[in-house]
């Protein structure tokens, strides 16, 4: 499956109170166009999605916080998933869409293949943690367990590269902040 196909499936698992924090580039564009608005589109800050999601999850305990990020972003801010596993807020869900590339900026290879994700996730404190290929056959079951898990959860999906022709996010970061504040208050 491609990343946007996974994001399309997420529609059925979140409600308007939930908060998505999405990764720089293509992933945020897909979240912006495919899912309900507004969400936290971190348009420029590669590597900071999990940190921001962790902060929101700790402050907004009654809200599910779903962080959707690429392998490049995970690698850049690697410490944040470990910090999350220390605090393990039960409302925090981390979805890694791993195409082994910096797809947005031209498809340069990342070093994600150097990580054995099953072993790595196995070493973290989380009530649900799994690494697998994204597949049409199991995606609904995987998302149900991942998003509806009672505790902190992590899903690492290997995906195929590919994107929809979507226009850029039209909102300036200040506009995104304004809309998010309105959603939270
Ligand atoms: C700190 C920082 N470094 C580099 C960039 C440029 N940049 C934007 S998106 C991107 C690739 C992201 O790769 P990944 O997280 O794997 O997502 P993909 O594009 O593969 O979906 C890069 C390098 C940036 N926005 N911020
Ligand atoms: Mg990538």
HEC string for 37-104:
CCCEECCCCCCCHHHHHHHHHHHCCCCCEEEEEEHHHHHHCCHHHHHHHHHCCCCEEEEEEECCEEHH
List residues near ligand 1 (CB under 6 A).
Answer: 23-27, 44, 46-47, 70-73, 99, 101-105, 110
pLDDT confidence of residue 185? 78
| Residue nearest ligand 1's atom 17 by CA | 70
Q: Which ligand is nearest to the CA of 49?
A: 1
- Distance from Cα 48 to the centre of ligand 2, integer Å: 15
pLDDT confidence of residue 44? 87
- Distance from Cα 185 to the centre of ligand 1, integer Å: 31
Distance CA 95, CA 110 (A): 18
Q: How many domains in the chain?
A: 1
Return the closest-CA partner of residue 24 out of 70, 64, 59.
Answer: 70
Q: CATH number for the domain including 27?
A: 3.40.50.970
Q: Which atom of ligand 1 is nearest to the CA of 75?
A: 15
Instruction: Tell me which of 1, 24, 26, 27 to substitute to probe ligand 1's pocket, judged by most ligand atoms within 8 Å of the beta carbon.
Output: 24
Instruction: Tell me which of 74, 105, 109 to substitute to probe ligand 1's pocket, judged by most ligand atoms within 8 Å of the beta carbon.
Output: 105
Q: Which atom of ligand 1 is nearest to the CA of 44?
A: 25
Instruction: Tell me which of 104, 109, 163 to substitute to probe ligand 1's pocket, judged by most ligand atoms within 8 Å of the beta carbon.
Output: 104
Measured CA to CA in angstroms, residue 58 lies from 71, 90, 94, 95, 172 at distances of 24, 9, 14, 18, 26
Close Cβ partners of 36 (under 8 Å, ≥ 6 residues apart): 14, 16
Return the closest-CA partner of residue 46 out of 25, 16, 30, 65.
Answer: 25
Return the closest-CA partner of residue 152 out of 101, 83, 103, 106.
Answer: 83
Distance CA 182, CA 32 (A): 17
pLDDT confidence of residue 43? 87
Domain, as residue range, for 161: 3-184
pLDDT confidence of residue 184? 86
**What is the model's pTM?**
0.98
- Distance from Cα 50 to the centre of ligand 1, integer Å: 14
The 8-class DSSP code of residue 35 comes to S
Close Cβ partners of 45 (under 8 Å, ≥ 6 residues apart): 24, 52
Output the tens digit of pLDDT for each of the chain's 185 residues. 999 999 999 999 999 999 999 999 999 999 999 999 999 999 889 999 999 999 999 999 999 999 999 999 999 999 999 999 999 999 999 999 999 999 999 999 999 999 999 999 999 999 999 999 999 999 999 999 999 999 999 999 999 999 999 999 999 999 999 999 999 87
């Amino acid at each position: 499956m491609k990343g946007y196909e996974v994001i399309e499936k997420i529609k059925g698992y979140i409600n308007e109170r939930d908060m998505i924090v999405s990764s720089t580039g293509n992933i945020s564009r897909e979240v912006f166009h495919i899912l309900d608005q507004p969400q936290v589109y971190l348009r420029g800050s590669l590597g900071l999605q999990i940190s921001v999601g962790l902060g929101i999850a700790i402050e907004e305990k009654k809200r599910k916080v779903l962080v959707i990020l690429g392998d490049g972003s995970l690698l850049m801010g690697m410490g944040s998933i470990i910090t999350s596993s220390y605090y393990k807020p039960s409302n925090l869900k981390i979805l890694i869409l791993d195409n082994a590339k910096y797809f947005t900026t031209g498809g340069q290879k990342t070093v994600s293949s150097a990580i054995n994700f099953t072993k790595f996730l196995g070493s973290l404190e989380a009530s649900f943690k799994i690494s697998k290929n994204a597949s049409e056959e199991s995606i609904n079951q995987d998302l149900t367990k991942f998003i509806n898990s009672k505790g902190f959860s992590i899903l690492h999906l290997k995906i195929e590269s590919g994107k929809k022709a979507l226009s850029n996010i039209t909102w300036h970061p200040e506009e995104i902040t304004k809309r998010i504040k309105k959603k939270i208050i």
